[in-house]
């Protein structure tokens, strides 16, 4: 049995980490049985980040590498008939979401005061005193350093929002009138897009990036479609 090590649910979502939610979404889309193990123990994760899996003694870290592993071991029901062009489109969409838009969202959650007022209690509220005071400060400082290391954190908030809005507008154009990002059938890139868009549209934090996404009816409908199809039991869509 696959054991999925991920953060506990937060913000009314299956997971407030888009990478954790992506993997759980993929497992559901591919029809693979799994069990959740909710954890905050990053030091036990093979690469110090979540999610990771333990598949009957085989540990694999990184959502993308885990999906590659799952495809090799259990087959590829979602992507096996994709063309070379569709695979390239999926890769480009994935990179946009994971390597760019993600960092703009992190900025809004961890650096802005409104975001921090939501993130801090949701992620650290269950810690005992004095960890509840110390850990969030250290984590926020570390996240700020990561944002600067990436480069996103060197921009002004206005510039970060403009960059994120451009990503969201591009996603809306790419989705167009299609039901899923590559056409009429859901493929693994929808695990990425569905989880990242839910982490913008279905989180109670009002930002220019969320407003831009909410202004695209196709993205809003897509997000709901994915939620209702794959997480009918534990979503509280806003
Ligand atoms: N490339 C990784 C990224 C995973 C990732 O960034 N996870 C974040 C949560 S969204 C994490 O565990 N952060 C903790 C940390 O960096 O200390 C994947 O696809 O799994």
Which residue, 10, 29, 9, is CA-closest to 193?
Answer: 29
Helix extents (H) in the chain: 18-29, 63-74, 84-96, 102-106, 113-124, 131-150, 157-175, 188-201, 208-214, 217-230
Sign of the four-CA dihedral 29, 30, 31, 32? negative
pLDDT of 69:
98
Looking at beta carbons, which pairs linking 161-164 to residues 24 or more positions away fall under 8 Å? 161/104, 161/207, 161/208, 161/209, 163/100, 163/104, 164/101, 164/104, 164/105, 164/108, 164/208, 164/209, 164/212
Q: Which atom of ligand 1 is nearest to the CA of 52?
A: 20
- Cα 79 to Cα 117: distance, rounded to the nearest angstrom: 40
pLDDT of 233 reads: 82
Pull the structure tokens for residue 210.
Answer: 């969320």
**Ligand 1 binding site (Cβ under 6 Å of any ligand atom):** 17, 19, 42, 49-51, 62-64
Phi and psi, residue 75, nearest 5°: 95, 175
Q: How far is the CA of 161 from the centre of ligand 1 (A)?
A: 22
CA 178/CA 43 separation, integer angstroms: 41
State how far the Cα of 109 lies from the Cα of 96, in Å rounded to an integer.
Answer: 19
Nearest alpha carbon, ligand 1 atom 16: 49
Distance 17 CA to ligand 1 centre (A): 8
Give the position, in ligand 1's atom list, of the atom nearest the Cα of 64: 19
For atom 11 of ligand 1, the residue with the nearest CA is 49
Tell me which of 11, 16, 19 to substitute to probe ligand 1's pocket, judged by most ligand atoms within 8 Å of the beta carbon: 19
At residue 148, the pLDDT reads: 98
Q: Could you tell me the mean pLDDT of each successive run of 10 residues in the chain, 238 residues long?
A: 96 96 98 97 97 98 98 98 98 98 98 98 94 96 98 98 98 98 98 98 97 98 97 66
State which of 5, 24, 42, 50 you would mutate to test the pocket of ligand 1, scoring each by most atoms of that ligand within 8 A of its C-beta: 50
Report which ligand 1 atom has the smallest distance to the Cα of 17. Answer: 10
Residue 19 alpha carbon to ligand 1 centre in Å: 7
């Amino acid at each position: 049995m696959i054991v999925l090590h991920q953060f506990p649910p937060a913000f009314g979502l299956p997971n407030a980490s888009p990478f954790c939610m992506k993997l759980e979404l993929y497992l559901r889309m591919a029809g693979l049985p799994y069990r959740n193990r909710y954890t905050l123990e990053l030091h036990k994760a093979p690469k110090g980040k979540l999610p990771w899996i333990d598949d009957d003694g085989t540990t694999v870290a990184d959502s993308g590498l885990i999906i590659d592993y799952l495809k090799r071991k259990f087959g590829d029901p979602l992507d096996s008939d994709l063309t070379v062009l569709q695979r390239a489109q999926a890769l480009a969409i994935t990179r946009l979401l994971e390597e760019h838009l993600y960092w703009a969202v992190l900025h809004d959650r961890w650096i802005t005061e409104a975001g921090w007022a939501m993130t801090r209690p949701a992620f650290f509220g269950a810690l005992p005193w004095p960890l509840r005071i110390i850990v969030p400060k250290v984590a926020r400082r570390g996240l700020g350093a990561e944002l600067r290391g990436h480069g996103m954190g060197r921009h002004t908030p206005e510039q970060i929002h403009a960059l994120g809005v451009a990503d969201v507008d591009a996603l809306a154009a790419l989705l167009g009138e299609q039901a899923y990002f590559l056409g009429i059938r859901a493929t693994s890139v929808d695990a990425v897009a569905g989880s990242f868009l839910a982490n913008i549209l279905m989180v109670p934090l009002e930002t220019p990036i969320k407003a831009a996404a909410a202004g695209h009816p196709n993205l809003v409908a897509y997000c709901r479609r994915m939620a209702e199809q794959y997480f009918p039991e534990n979503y509280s869509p806003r």
